[in-house]
Structure 1
């Protein structure tokens, strides 16, 4: 149930299978699609390009390309077939271009790669800064408008990466329209923490962040823009997104501030580098600073199976919000700046400080295995259940929490419902609320479409296990800085262990006499840990990612957003 373009290489039984183009070295790079060039570069950099290509490490154990060449170049179909009443559209809301001081690609480069590997929507989010606030917003806009016209089956939003006053970064983006540049420019000049010298963790700066969220809501209310959303990026990376700040953003404008990255980008950073160890998945290699929230433990500064500690901890900060009954959704994104195994370098004679951008990148140099990122869609994907293929429908799906995320193509589709047992109804989807009579019997139904085809690293992932996580809804927290939900736990696990076809589970909650919520996660089973850093209720959660050696392809997970069940008395 993903989307993308696919290339068929038919052959008759008994005849040798035709090599996919990316493995056929007689075909020059210029004749390949962007995704094929990128995957060829990966194989090239690993020293295994050729008809017998078999790669380990970053590629997993022997690449599926070698064993099933007819399928190796296939990616996911973009037919936008409805599933459960929704179009499940894959996207990425955190992407940087040559208009960011630490990136280099053109907008069209990102859009072409994302489109080729199946993304239906994406957000361009260049860094907020004094330079960007002056000229960046309007300079990138024509490139985005051009990309929209050239690649019509991928929706391209304009946004920016907000330096949240007193906190970390966040994605802010708006519905396309005549005022998208003006509203984003005013927002950045008025509320960006760097532009306003408001990065310190003071109460005045926290108030400025709330004012920024209110500004976006007012712009929508005044119909200056069709819609706007804000999501917190890499929230635990530096420890400066305190629990009360997160609650403050959400409570101020719950239709604008809707969630956070459950998994950060920069996932290739954990790979060993040619001349030594890597960094950390997500670049989560920090320690507490003066502005960090003192209550966070040291282990919160690391990722777990590539996911942020706030999301990966059963009974942790995310669950503490859900236990209040507060919608707060998770996403997964590339944060793409500089792509692993690419050959591009910044355009010569660039003057970013004067122009606000780098010249067009130049390709053909050495394969760079020190870069930390993947192209959008190649590893991290955010799937939204939209009512139509449109900008408005994607934004509404994000707002309503019909969202699940995965890494490395672990699964290809997912349908999750909660319903009254025996009712015969389809049930409530992700992000929804099932209202029941007190004591009604309730069941969760889950259908997983397994991977079935190679991912970008050229192997077919195998889903080993799906966990059902349930928590009590206990109401508003008296302490706005709480980050625990002690009643949340894994209530059921289902073993899978195959990678084709689909599997369906039905989990009975029994008679429900109190408000609860449910969410899911799944894993390839390669790495796990008992009792995730204080969450003793978690029997086999994700393991902490080692600094310098954390191959993202060997530790794949998916997570869903929750569904609530609320009895009426």
Structure 2
């Protein structure tokens, strides 16, 4: 379909026309057992509409320029997300001098209309929260409201008072990092608690392990202030199509993810991709800290922008029923894996106690005794179809990664843990086929200390650790998936 179709259209007639466009899904969602109605449902929690505006500051008060920073309507984003196999998405528009009012009076009614005529894709209401603090530019977080009758009013209350760019001009106290903690306390006090995930946390890093704007200490401070709200960060970043010209040819100087100071690594932020790095440092404290994959869609590369459509390249899979509450609750619980390029579309990671029916999966905790014999059981599905890039990638390797849980870090800004390691690498000859899944097991033996186990996989057989992405690199050729962890607690 032409990309311009339905852009900026608000009428129900046009929305209905969009709804009738053919949907594309690569495979049927899969549940683990007949008695479990949950499925792996793909989504995207970072999508911009034309209500991500620019502001005309030549007048006072500044006036919004619709489509100034992102160009597509909410229903077009939803339709294209469904076309690329998503079951849910979150609209996360930018802030500004008076965007809270714009969101309440214009964006939210459009979302309600889109929900009505496109009910097959669940559309959450949220925003890209501008984090208060010194030089707030580039400090962003996805803010997701649960679907409730008061969702718009509750978001308005937070945005109008606490968003870093809200105000004409923003109040001076928003230049203090402590104001973010006040914002988180206010979020936590809402009748319906939202979720918050740091967006592109390492984008403005000035080098390897040289963090800027968002630091490991801030991530810890945020979650400690509102542990029921702050749940993680995006791992596979948006703007991956920044390497393409309009015609699909590669730009020799194009940078995946638009990371100027230090590149992504296999398309993932260094805070996720580095083994034993920021993510593992947080997990080694026992934190429930999840990673995801997003588009950060503002405009498609064929329209001269830097993005893929929601779901075209990156997907966040949540193991849930297809309802708003189930997706929200299971995203919060970490029953999530992140993937690029449709490398896989289902993943079950289970740590079980031999000789019993006790086991735990992604995002869960298994309580064991030192006498228990443990086993890792893995099933993943590598769909035998073409992805949106026209490729049928194959999983070449899966790494089982394990790390010890040592309690709170002494250094709040720590970005490493020495106990995380690759426990074993698995190659295509190491798994068998069973009911459309690739399956393998690994005996873990007995454990005497708390730990966590997570998986990653790739189509790169011999790239043992994800390397910094080179300029002009084709993102369709370098694909990875990451599971969130299973925790093991010794009683």
TM-score by length of 2: 0.85
The equivalent position to 2:393 in structure 1, one of 461, 473, 476, is: 461
2:244–2:250 Cα contact (<8 Å) kept: no
Deviation per residue, 1:52-98 (Å, 9 max, x gap):
xxxxxxxxxxxxxxxxxxxxx963245x5533533211110000111
Asked if the contact 1:415/1:447 (under 8 Å) is kept, the reply is yes
| 1:133 shift after superposition | 2.4
Instruction: Choose from 96, 110, 116 the match for 1:129.
Output: 96
Q: Is the 8 A contact 2:245 2:301 kept in 1?
A: no
Q: How many residues align?
A: 443
Equivalent position of 2:474 in the other structure: 551
CA–CA distance in structure 2, aligned partners of residues 74 and 235 of structure 1: 31
Deviations 1:294-352 (A, max 9, x none): xxxxxxx32000000000001001100100001110011000011022xxxxxxxxxxx
Match of 1:401 among 322, 327, 334: 334
Counterpart for residue 521 of structure 1:
456
Aligned twin of 1:560: 483
Per-residue CA shift, 1:526-556, capped at 9, x if unaligned? 672xxxxxxxxxxx11110113x12110000
The CA deviation at 1:37 is 9.2
In the alignment, which residue of structure 2 is the partner of 1:314? Answer: 275
Q: Would the aligned equivalents of 1:165 and 1:199 in 2 still touch at CA under 8 Å?
A: no
Give deviations 1:147-184, integer Å, cap 9, x for gaps. 11111121101111011112610010212223222211
User: Residue 330 of structure 1 aligns with which residue?
Assistant: 291
Change (3 A) 1:561 1:189: same
| Aligned-residue CA RMSD (Å) | 2.7
Question: 2 CA distance for matches of 1:339 and 1:376?
Answer: 10
**Structure 1 residue runs of 4+, over 6 Å off?**
33-38, 197-200, 497-500
Cα deviation 1:112-155 (Å, max 9, x = unaligned): 11112221110001101114123233311111111111111211
**C-alpha distance 35-283 of structure 1, shift in aligned 2 (>3 A):** farther
2:263 to 278, 296, 302: 302
Q: Which of these two proteins has the greater Rg computed from alpha carbons?
A: 1
Q: Deviations over 1:447-497 (max 9, x none)?
A: 011121111112211110000000011111111111101110111011027
Are 1:246 and 2:219 matched, yes or no? Answer: yes
Q: Within 5 Å, which residues of 2 pair with 1:148-163?
A: 148-163=115-130
Displacement of 1:280 in angstroms is 1.4
Mapped to 1, the partners of 2:84 and 2:490 lie a distance apart of: 43
Q: Which runs of 5+ in 1 are unaligned?
A: 1-20, 23-29, 39-72, 287-300, 342-367, 529-539
Quick one: structure 1 residues 499 and 456, their matched pair in 2 at CA, closer, same or farther if it must change by over 3 Å?
A: farther
Distance in 2 separating the partners of 1:115 and 1:499: 32
- Summarize the Cα distance change of 1:272–1:527 in structure 2 as closer, same or farther, 3 Å threshold: farther
Task: Give distance in 1, aligned partners of 2:21 and 2:188.
Answer: 42
Aligned to 1:412: 345
Note if 1:94 corresponds to 2:46: yes
CA distance in 2 between counterparts of 1:36 and 1:527 reads 44
**1:187-198 equivalent positions in 2, closer than 5 A:** 187-195=158-166
Distance 1:491 1:331 in 2: 23
Matched, 1:261 2:234: yes
Post-superposition CA distance 1:382-403 (Å, at most 9, x none): 00111x2211111111111100
- Consecutive unaligned residues of structure 2, counting only runs of 5 or more, are 3-13, 54-68, 205-211
Residue in 2 that maps onto 1:508: 443
